[in-house]
Amino acid sequence: VTKEERYKMKRLRILTFLGCLIPFVLLLLKVFQNELGPDPAKELALETGEWAIRFLLLALAMTPLRHLSGRIAFAQRRRMIGLFALFYASVHFLVWVVFLLGLRWGAILEEVIERPYITLGFSSFLILVVLGATSPRVMVRRLGKNWRRLHRLVYVAGVLAIIHLVWIVRTDLSEALVYGAILAGLLGWRIVFARNNARRPL
């Protein structure tokens, strides 16, 4: 790798990082300018949750984009984008605890048990936490082949998150259905790609 290539890679990492922060900055501006509508807490929870889903889908799209374009840069951005999905999911969780539960930490377990849609959302969040904790290269080496098996749970997290969203919005399901269609397409691509690889002669 030449010095110029390293510089380009570093610049791309910085641009990716800044790009992923844009939705968060825009949300902060809405908060400070009081532009979140009549129920700010609910709107903030909804927007942070949707951004978590969007970044999760974007991270899953990196591998197909790499294979279709032949550009390894897509795969190199996958980890950062996936961690931003966890970041927005964490903000979503904090908004729920701080503004909707009023910092009643003891009520979390009660809500998770009694409300199925929260059970699904919380399960999705826990999966993302585990995947984020095992994303560093040192964990990839320690887990070996089990790392890939573990990180396939990202599709489960995506399904749970989308069902969680459908359960919350109920009336306008257009965006949730789009997310579901994208996830189904990405999962279908992965299944077909895995089968084609399995059929290749050694």
- Model confidence over 54-75: pLDDT tens digits? 999 999 999 899 888 888 888 8
d(CA 137, CA 135): 6
pLDDT of residue 16: 94
Q: How far apart are CA 66 and CA 51, in angstroms?
A: 23
How far is it, in rounded angstroms, from Cα 50 to Cα 41?
Answer: 14
Q: Note whether 52 and 85 are within 8 A (CB).
A: yes
157-168 per-position pLDDT tens digit: 999 999 999 998
pTM above 0.85, yes or no: yes
User: Which residues 6+ apart lie within 8 Å of 64 measured at CB?
Assistant: 186, 189, 193
Question: Considering the chain, what percentage of its residues have pLDDT values greater than 90?
Answer: 65
Nearest Cα neighbor of 57 from 194, 186, 169 is 186
- Does the structure show a pLDDT above 50 at 155? yes
Tokens standing for residue 179: 């997310």
d(CA 186, CA 172): 23
- Give, in order, the Cα–Cα distances in Å from 47 to each of 100, 186, 196: 14, 23, 38
Q: How confident is the model at residue 179 (pLDDT cuts 50, 70, 90)?
A: very high
